[in-house]
A = this chain, B = another copy of it.
Amino acid sequence: MLEDSVRSLAKGKNFAALTTLLPSGHPMTQVMWVDANDEHVLINTEVGRQKFANVRRDPRVTVTVIDAANPYHYVEVRGRVVDSVTGPVAREHIDALSQKYTGAPYAVPIQTERVILHIAPDRVRANG
């Protein structure tokens, strides 16, 4: 089960810094929408993006979810991508995320295919 400190921040209207590892091992860190279920932190991306290629090669990621109301309050989740879900579930999930963050369905053209990354925590550090 995901810790409450992580789940509440990830389910709120907060942004996450998602770090994946490039082929060189250099980290790549981008600001993302974020979600959670009972077990995993969830990130929705596209299968054609660099970050998806990264996690297919090396599933180690870190997701730092930052309280939008207080940047000194954040949780750092070091974990692994344990599942990647595509298809209608991923398409519906990006609409749900868009509703959370913008109040409207997802309006950005989808270039390849949406995919939900399921991230299992190995270590969680809470700040603030």
Give a binary string over A47-76; 1 marks a CB under 8 Å from any B CB, 0 the rest.
000000000000011111010100110101
Known: A17-B64, A19-B62. A25 touches B28 (CB 8 A): no
A63 and B31 alpha carbons, distance in the complex (Å): 11
**B-chain residues with CB within 8 Å of residue A17 when the two chains form the complex:** 17, 19, 29, 31, 64, 66
Expressed in whole angstroms, the minimum distance between the Cβ of A41 and any Cβ of chain B is: 13
Give a binary string over A1-24; 1 marks a CB under 8 Å from any B CB, 0 the rest.
000000000000001010101000
Write the residues of chain A forming the contact surface with B, with a CB cutoff of 8 angstroms. 15, 17, 19, 21, 25-31, 60-64, 66, 68, 71-72, 74, 76, 78, 127
